C-alpha cells in the first residue's frame, strides 16, 4: 500500500448487541430459535431494536424506510461520533447490502400479488442506492455516497473502495459499511432450497457448526446486523487499528454458488493482501511476513464446502505454520452483506484486548505471545473473495 489506512471509528450491531465484544461468554452463542420461521436465527436484541425504532420515529420520512437502512443510520452515527468527525465535514460514504430492503420488498410484493397494484413508496424505498443516500441525508454529508451489493463480501468491498478513494487523494476521510436485515421467510426458504441452512431443532446446543471441519451436513444460520467503519489515510493518534494490506480475487465458477475445493479465490486474495503489506513489514520477504501474521478471522459460514475449502486455502498459503483461526458465525449467524465488517470488528477487538474468539469445534490452538497482525476474509456467491490485513495500532 502507498500509505497505511487508519481505522479511527467503528460501530457494529449484531445478535450480541450494540458494540459488544464477541470475546465474552466463551463457548456460548447468541442465536435463538424462531418458532414462526421454524429456524435458528441471529436476531438483534430487544434493546437494540428499541434504539432503531427511536430513529424511525425521529423523522416522518424515516417511517417508510426498510430496517436495513435504519440499521445503517444507527451504526453510522455512532461510528462518526467515535471517530470524532465533525458531521459538517464532507467525507465519502460507501455502505452496501447483499439482500437490500428485504423486509419492505417482500411486503410490497405480497401486496401487489393480492391487489395487482404497487404502493407509492415501493420503488424509492427498495432501490439499492437507498442505504448510503439516506445515511448521507441523516448525517447531512455532501461527499460522495455509494451503495452496492457483492453478496456476502459486500462490506469488505466497501472497505476496498474506501481505501481506493483515500489512496487516490479524492477524499480525506471515508466511511464504509454493510447492513443486513433479511430474517424473512422467503430468504430462509431460499437458503433451505440450496440445502445450506441448519436443520438443527430448537433444543440443539450448537445450531451453527462454523469451523467444525468434521460436520456431517451444512449448518449455516442467518443473522442480522450492521457495521460502519471510519477510515483516514496515514498514521493517526486516535487509530484503533491500521489497514496495511488488501487483496481480492474472483473464483472461476462451475455453477452460481460454487467454490473450488481449495478456495483458489482465497489463496489469491490472502497472498495479495500479504504482498500489499510489504512496506508495513520493513520490506521483509513474503515468507517472513507469513510468520508475522498471528490470526485469521475466517469467513467460515458453517457449510461443509465453505468451511473446508477456506481452511484448505489457508493451509496452502501458511503450510505447517498456521496462525490462530477463528470466526464469529457460530455465535451471531451469517449476516450476509454485513458479515465482513463484523469480522473486522472482531479482529480489532482481538488486537486491542490481546484475546481471541475461541471456537468450540476446533482443536485447542496455541496463542502467540502477541497478536499484532490479523487477516480478515470474506467471500460471496459469485466467488468474490476479499482479504484485509490489519495491524495493531
pLDDT beyond 90 at 285 = no
Q: What is the pLDDT of residues 294-320, one digit of tens each?
A: 999 999 999 999 999 999 999 999 998
Query: If we measure between CA atoms, which residue out of 389, 370, 213 comes closest to residue 317?
Result: 389
88: confidence class by pLDDT, cuts 50, 70, 90: low
User: How many degrees, rounded to 5, is the angle at CA 280 between CA 278 and CA 284?
Assistant: 45
Q: Of 14-28, 79-93, 333-347, which range is least confident? A: 14-28
Q: What is the mean pLDDT of the chain?
A: 93
Q: In 10 A of CB 204, how many CB atoms?
A: 15
Separation between Cα atoms, residue 322 and residue 294, nearest integer Å: 9
Separation between Cα atoms, residue 123 and residue 15, nearest integer Å: 30
Separation between Cα atoms, residue 247 and residue 245, nearest integer Å: 7
pLDDT at 381: 79
pLDDT at 198: 98
Instruction: Give, rounded to a whole angstrom, the gap between the first and last alpha carbons of the chain.
Output: 17
Query: If we measure between CA atoms, which residue out of 91, 208, 68, 229 comes closest to residue 149?
Result: 68
The residue-averaged pLDDT of 361-377 equals: 92
Q: In 10 A of CB 284, how many CB atoms?
A: 14
pLDDT beyond 80 at 26 = no
pLDDT beyond 90 at 364 = no
Q: Of 34-43, 284-293, 376-385, which range is least confident? A: 284-293
pLDDT at 254: 65
pLDDT at 290: 83
pTM: 0.96
pLDDT beyond 60 at 148 = yes
Which residues neighbour 11 within 8 Å (Cβ) at sequence distance 6 or greater? Answer: 18, 19, 74, 75, 76, 77, 78, 79, 82, 227, 228
Contact criterion met (CB below 8 Å) for 384 and 151 = yes
CATH number at residue 146: 3.40.47.10
Separation between Cα atoms, residue 315 and residue 322, nearest integer Å: 7
Q: Structurally, how many domains does the chain consist of? A: 1
The residue-averaged pLDDT of 357-378 equals: 92
Q: Looking up cell 520493513, which residue turns up? A: 282
| Range of the structural domain that residue 198 is part of | 5-392
DSSP assignment of 211-262: T-TT-SS--B-EE-EEEEEEEEES--TT-SEEEEEEEEEE---SSTT---TT
- Strands 295-297 and 373-378, by their bridges, are parallel
Q: What is the pLDDT of residues 241-257, one digit of tens each?
A: 999 999 999 987 665 55
Contact criterion met (CB below 8 Å) for 248 and 150 = no
Amino acid at each position: 500500500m502507498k500509505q497505511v489506512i487508519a481505522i479511527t471509528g467503528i460501530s457494529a450491531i449484531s445478535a450480541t448487541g450494540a458494540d459488544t465484544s464477541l470475546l465474552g461468554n466463551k463457548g456460548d452463542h447468541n442465536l435463538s430459535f424462531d418458532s414462526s420461521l421454524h429456524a435458528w436465527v441471529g436476531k438483534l436484541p430487544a434493546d437494540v431494536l428499541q434504539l432503531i425504532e427511536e430513529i424511525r420515529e425521529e423523522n416522518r420520512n424515516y417511517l417508510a424506510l426498510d430496517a436495513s437502512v435504519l440499521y445503517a443510520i444507527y451504526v453510522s452515527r455512532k461510528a462518526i461520533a467515535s471517530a470524532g468527525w465533525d458531521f459538517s465535514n464532507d467525507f465519502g460514504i460507501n455502505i452496501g447490502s447483499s439482500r437490500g430492503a428485504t423486509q419492505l420488498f417482500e411486503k410490497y410484493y405480497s401486496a401487489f400479488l393480492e391487489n395487482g397494484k404497487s404502493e407509492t413508496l415501493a420503488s424509492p424505498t427498495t432501490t439499492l442506492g437507498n442505504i448510503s443516500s439516506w445515511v448521507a441525508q441523516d448525517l447531512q454529508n455532501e461527499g460522495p455516497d455509494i451503495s452496492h451489493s457483492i453478496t456476502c463480501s459486500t462490506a469488505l468491498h466497501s472497505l476496498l473502495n474506501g481505501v481506493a478513494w483515500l489512496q487516490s487523494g479524492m477524499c480525506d476521510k471515508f466511511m464504509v459499511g454493510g447492513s443486513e436485515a433479511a430474517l424473512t421467510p422467503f430468504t430462509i426458504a431460499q437458503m433451505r432450497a440450496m440445502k445450506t441452512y441448519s436443520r438443527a431443532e430448537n433444543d440443539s446446543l450448537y445450531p451453527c457448526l462454523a469451523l467444525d471441519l468434521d460436520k456431517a451436513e451444512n449448518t449455516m444460520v442467518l443473522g442480522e446486523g450492521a457495521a460502519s467503519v471510519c477510515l483516514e489515510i496515514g498514521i493517526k493518534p486516535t487509530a484503533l487499528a491500521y489497514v496495511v494490506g488488501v487483496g481480492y480475487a474472483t473464483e472461476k465458477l462451475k455453477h452460481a454458488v460454487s467454490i473450488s475445493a481449495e478456495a483458489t479465490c482465497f489463496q489469491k486474495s490472502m497472498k495479495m493482501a500479504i504482498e500489499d503489506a510489504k512496506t508495513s513489514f520493513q520490506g521483509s520477504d513474503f515468507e517472513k511476513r507469513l510468520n508475522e501474521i498471528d490470526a485469521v478471522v475466517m469467513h467460515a459460514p458453517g457449510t461443509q464446502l465453505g468451511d473446508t475449502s477456506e481452511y484448505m486455502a489457508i493451509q496452502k498459503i501458511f503450510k505447517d505454520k498456521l496462525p490462530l483461526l477463528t470466526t464469529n458465525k457460530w455465535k451471531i449467524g451469517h449476516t450476509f452483506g454485513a458479515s465482513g465488517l463484523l469480522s473486522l470488528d472482531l479482529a480489532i477487538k482481538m488486537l486491542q484486548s490481546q484475546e481471541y474468539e475461541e471456537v468450540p469445534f476446533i482443536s485447542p490452538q496455541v496463542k502467540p505471545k502477541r497478536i499484532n497482525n490479523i487477516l480478515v476474509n470474506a467471500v460471496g456467491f459469485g466467488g468474490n473473495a476479499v482479504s484485509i490485513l490489519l495491524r495493531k495500532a
